[in-house]
Structure 1
Amino acid sequence: MELKERILVKAEALFWKFGTRSITMDDISRDIGISKKTLYQHFTDKDDIVYQVMLYRLDKNRENVSCQMATAHDPVEEILLASEMMRQHLAEMNPALLIDLQRHYPRAWEVCTEFKEKFLLESIRANLKRGIEEGLYRPEIDVEIMARLRVEMMRVAFDTEVFPRALTGMIEVQIQLLHHFVRGILTEKGLFIYNQYVQKHQNEPATTTL
C-alpha cells in the first residue's frame, strides 16, 4: 500500500471513530508514524485530507455495492445484500461525523451529497424498477418516493434525537428500518422469497443479521 493510501486509511479510521473536528493533523501523523512535514507533502491541510478521505471511502463503497449487486440472484437478495453492506459500514461511524462534514467541510459534504443523488438513489431506483418488473415488488409503489424514503431511513438512524443511543443501538435501528422498508414493498411472491433469504441467513453461522 502506497503511503498516501495508508494515510487515507488511517485518517478514515480516526474520523470514523472520533469524528473529524476532534482529530488534528498531529493526531494523524502520530497515528501513522510519520512527520507532519511528510503528511503535508500529500495533503495541503486538514480540509484537503477530509475531502480526499471521503472520495476514497465513497469510491470503495461504489465498488463494493456494485460487486454485491452483481452476485445477487434477484432484486430482493440484491437490496438485502447491498443494504447489509452499507449498514455494516455506517454502523462503525461516529454519528458526529456527518454533522461535522455538513457544518465544517463543505467540499467533503458535497461529495457525500453527490454519492447519494447520483449513485445510491439511482441504485435503489434500478432495484425497485426491476423488482416491479419481476413481480416481486408491488406495482403501485412510486419508485422515486420509495427510493428517497430508503435513503432517508438510512440517514435518520444516525439522529440521536430520533433514536437515542440509550434506547437502542444504531445497528438494531438499521436492521429494523431495513426490514420495515423491504416488507412494505413486497408482493406475495416477493415475500415468499424474502422469507427464504431471511431463514437461510438465520441458519448460517454469520456475524451479522439481515
Structure 2
Amino acid sequence: MENKKVVLIEKSTELFLTYGIQHVSMDDIADKCGISKKTIYKFFENKNDLLLQIITIKIKKLKQILKIYPKKHSNSVKVLYTFFEDIKLIMNKISPILFIEIKKHYPNIFIEILKIKTYTLLPFISENIKQGKEEKLYKNNLKATDLCKSYDTMFNMIFMNYYNNSKSEQQTSISFLNNLFLHRLVSTKGLEELNKLYHKN
C-alpha cells in the first residue's frame, strides 16, 4: 500500500509541475498511475490533501539536500553557484502558471511555500554569505538580510507575478538574477573562483 502512495505522489507531482494544478484532475492522476480514482481517495482526502502531502515531503527532502551542499563543495562560491544551477534545472521543469495557480486557488499551500523560502532557503543563502565573508571570497561590507530580501523580491517577480511568461523566459530571468546576485557578493578573490566555474561549465 505504501508503494502505491509513493507512486501516486511521484506521478501527480510530475503532472502538476508539467501542466499546472487546475489542468490536472484526479482522473488524470488515476490514468497516469494505472489505478482507479477510488484508490487515490484511500490515501488522500482530495487534491488539496495530496498537494499538502507533496509539499511536506519536498520540504523534508530539500532540508536534507541543503545540508549536503557545504559538505560537497570546497568553498562558499561553489556552494551557491551549484545551488543556483540546481534551482534553475528544477524551475525548468515547472509550468509557468503553477505558482500563480497555487497563490490564487490554494492559499494554504502558498503559505507553506512561503515558509520554505522564509525558514529554509533564505537562511541557507544568509549562512552562505556569512561563510563567504569569512573565506574572503565575498565582500566584507555585505548585509546578508538586505541581500536576501532583495533576492526574494526579484524571485517572486519572476515566478509569482508574471502571467504570460514562458519556460524559456523564466530560465533567462532566473539565470540573470542568479548571476547578478553572485557578482554582487564576490570579492576580487571570489570573482576569480566564480569565473573558473563559468569557464568550466
Q: TM-score, normalised by structure 1?
A: 0.87
For 1:93-108, list aligned pairs within 5 A. Answer: 93-108=94-109
**Counterpart-to-counterpart distance in 1, 2:196 and 2:84:** 17
Corresponding residue for 1:38? Answer: 39
Q: Which residue of 1 aligns with 2:14?
A: 13
Q: Which segment is superposed worse, 53-62 or 127-136?
A: 53-62
Partner of 1:175: 175
Call closer, same or farther: CA 1:159–1:106 in 2, change over 3 Å. closer
Amino acid at match of 2:73: A
Contact kept? 2:133, 2:139, Cα under 8 Å: yes
- Confirm whether residue 29 of structure 1 aligns to residue 30 of structure 2: yes
The code of the aligned residue for 1:51 comes to L
**1:171 Cα offset (Å):** 1.6
The alignment covers a number of residue pairs equal to 200
Gaps of 5+ in 2: none
Alignment of 1:74-113 (within 5 A): 74-113=75-114
* Greater relative contact order (Cα < 8 A, sep 6+): 2
Residue range with higher mean Cα deviation, 104-113 or 25-34:
104-113
Which residue pairs with 2:138 in the alignment? 137
Structure 1 residues not aligned, in runs of 5+? 202-210
Distance 2:121 2:8 in 1: 26
Q: Percent identity?
A: 25
Q: Secondary structure at the match of 1:95?
A: coil
1:73 counterpart residue number: 74
Q: Which residue of 1 aligns with 2:147?
A: 146
Q: CA deviation at 1:43?
A: 0.1
Q: Distance in 1 between matches of 2:86 and 2:8?
A: 24
Distance of 1:160 and 1:124 partners within structure 2? 23
Aligned mates of 1:186, 1:93 — CA distance in 2: 30
- Cα shift at 1:158: 2.5
Per-residue CA distance 1:105-136 (angstroms, 9 max, x = gap): 12221221111111001101100111112111
Letter paired with 2:183 = R
